[in-house]
Amino acid sequence: MALNYVWLSFFLISFIVALCRLIFLHDTAVFSNVMTGMFDSAKTGAEISLALAGIMTFWLGVMKVGEKGGMINIFARIVDPFFSKLFPQIPKKDPAMGAILMNFSANALGLDNAATPLGLKAMKRLQDINPEPEGTASNSQIMFLVLNTAGLTIIPTSVIAVRLATGSANAADIFVPTLIGTFISFMSGLIAVAIFQRINLFKLPVLVFVAGFCALMGVLYWWLHNLPPDQIATYTALIGGLLIFSIIVSFFTLGLVRKLNVYDTFIEGAKEGFNVAVSIIPYLVTMLVGISAFRTTGCLDYVTSGLGAFFGMLGMNTDFVPVLPVGLMKTFSGGAARGLMIDILKHDGPDSFVGRLASIIQGSTETTFYVLALYFGSVNIRNTRHALACGLIADFVGLVGSIIVGYIFFH
């Protein structure tokens, strides 16, 4: 129900703002611009969904081999002590655990092409064991989606690449601040869902995970800190590609050892890919057209200007205000937020305070509305319960945390 009101508010607020622009600013093109933007977004939503079809076909084939060959069950047993605390509704050693692990791993490495289809596969498996009424998200689905929107990224490969391309002297200097920012976002999302679902996080497996992640951050920083900036993107891409391809080969090898017809099994899973991609189209288009109307009418710019004036009245330092559009837009559209970040890097320089802060925000938060429409749309979930609220909490805390970290490191 919350998503219904939010989506409707995009149109109602946009219409009122557009009328004001027409009456007071004599902007006669505002309504045609809004409609053009909405039609373009509808086209984009369909194109994104169809572009996913090929990737989904491949990865669902791989996952089917992993399921029948037994490798997914092995992964499930490995992560069961930790995941069973976060996903108590999932039966022990269920294949969903392995699918969730693979999705989180791909996200952490910044491998979007792998992470999205793996996440959709995990969501489908969670739907198979969903105890809620039809069309209603389960606790496990909400936890999984919010942790995805929190965007735990260990290596911000794409952001470092953009900083290099815009002439940064040290493109990787945002690495540790981004790690801290994404960890803040991840933990805030986890805590928010745990409060809603009454999950006790003060258990040994969860505490071990937090300690292990902090140790991993330290090791990665020590290793990458000693590499030239232009080699960091190369090595992180190598690690990501090697890891994912090794997993694929291990799936096929174990299937072969267990006398599975790997080819036929792959085809069986691949057939599901196109159907999943097509089922996403209505949900994705619906969300994108609303966001487009809100953005095209300038509503986001007005929000940013208002916040800047508010913080200035409080006597706060407002050097971060030019970066707020990146953080606010990231909640709605990753592509638009990336465009805003690049514009800041070109205008102010990648090594300026706002350039670094925009990079940290881009690398440490995720597109809540896009992920929600994509993942829940793939399994026809309409009642999202507390998923949106928890996702927005993670976005807000992650944005504030990233700004604070940026001030500590670079201001």
**Residue spans per domain, the chain:** 2-410
Please give the average per-residue pLDDT across 141-148, as a whole number.
93
CA dist list (Å): 196 to 131, 143, 191 = 17, 10, 9
**Range of 82-86, 113-117, 190-194 with top mean pLDDT:** 190-194
Per-residue pLDDT, averaged over 228-257, amounts to: 79
The confidence band for 391, taking pLDDT boundaries of 50, 70 and 90, is very high
Mean pLDDT of the chain: 85
222 by DSSP, 3-state: which? helix
Name the percent of the chain lying above pLDDT 90.
31
- In this prediction, residue 17 carries a pLDDT of 95
Q: Which of 269, 279, 176, 258 lies closest to 221 in space, CA to CA?
A: 176
pLDDT value of position 286:
85
* Integer CA distances (angstroms), 296 to 5, 34, 231, in order: 20, 6, 39
Please report the pLDDT score of residue 240 as a whole number. 64
The predicted model gives 52-64 an average pLDDT of: 81
Higher pLDDT, 263 or 292: 263
For residue range 349-366, list pLDDT tens digits in order.
999 999 999 999 988 877
Burial of 308 (0-12, 13-18, 19+ CB in 10 A): middle
Q: What's the confidence (pLDDT) of residue 401?
A: 93
Contact 35, 404 (CB under 8 A): no
Res 13 pLDDT > 90: yes
How sure is the predictor about 237, in pLDDT bands with cuts at 50, 70 and 90? Answer: low
**Under 8 Å between Cβ of 82 and 207:** no
pLDDT at 232: 65
Q: Are 276 and 380 in contact (CB under 8 A)?
A: no
What does the block give as tokens for 130? 């969903």
Which residue, 173, 260, 296, 186, is CA-closest to 224? 173
Decide if 364 contacts 185 (C-beta within 8 A): yes
Contact predicate 55/117, CB 8 Å: yes
Higher-scoring residue by pLDDT: 191, 340: 191
Q: Hey, which of 55-64, 225-234, 399-408 has the most confident mean pLDDT?
A: 399-408
Residues 42, 47, 50, 54, Cα dihedral to 10°: -160
The mean pLDDT value for 272-291 works out to 81
